[in-house]
Amino acid sequence: MTQDPPELYPPELLEHGRHPRNVGRLAEPTHSARCTNPLCGDRITLDLVVQDQVVAKVGYEARGCTVAVAAASLLSEAVLGRPVAEAQALAAGLQAAVRGEAETPEALLPLTAAARFPARRRCATLAAEALEKALQR
C-alpha cells in the first residue's frame, strides 16, 4: 500500500477532515441526494433546505477518506446562505477545476491539490456531485 504525498493535504483540508462542519442529516430536507464512489467506498448523503431559492440549511453524512469528508465540509460552508444558482456554479466549478478546465472556486481552494492525483479526484468532487444531483430535483 502506498502512502499519499503530504502535498495532497494542505492545512485547511486537514482541519475540515478532522473537524467537519455541518455534519448530520436534516430532519426535513427539501432536497437530498446520495453519491458513492464504488472504487474506494466513499459515500456522501447530502441534505438541503432551500427557501426562496436560497440554500438555508445544509447537512450531510460522509463516510470515506479525509479528502471526501473535507470536501463535503468545505462545500457545505461555501453554499450555505447562497442562492441555488451560485451553489450550482460552485459545484460545477469545482468539478471543472479538478478536470483541469477551470480555476478552483476560492472557497474550495484546499481541494486543488487533489486534482494533481487522478486516484483522488473523485474523492474531491463527490460532494459536488451530490449537490448537483440534489438540486436537480
pTM for the full predicted model: 0.91
Closest CA to 66 of 116, 19, 131: 19
Residue 90 covered by a domain: yes
Residue 1 covered by a domain: no
* Domain containing residue 45: CATH number: 3.90.1010.10
Query: Nine-digit cell at 106?
Result: 476560492
Q: Based on the structure, what is the number of domains in the chain? A: 1
Partners of 59 in beta bridges? 47
Q: What is the pLDDT of residues 107-136, one digit of tens each?
A: 898 988 888 888 889 999 999 999 999 999
Residue 106 covered by a domain: yes
Q: What is the pLDDT of residues 36-90, one digit of tens each?
A: 999 889 999 999 999 999 999 999 999 999 999 999 999 999 999 999 999 999 9
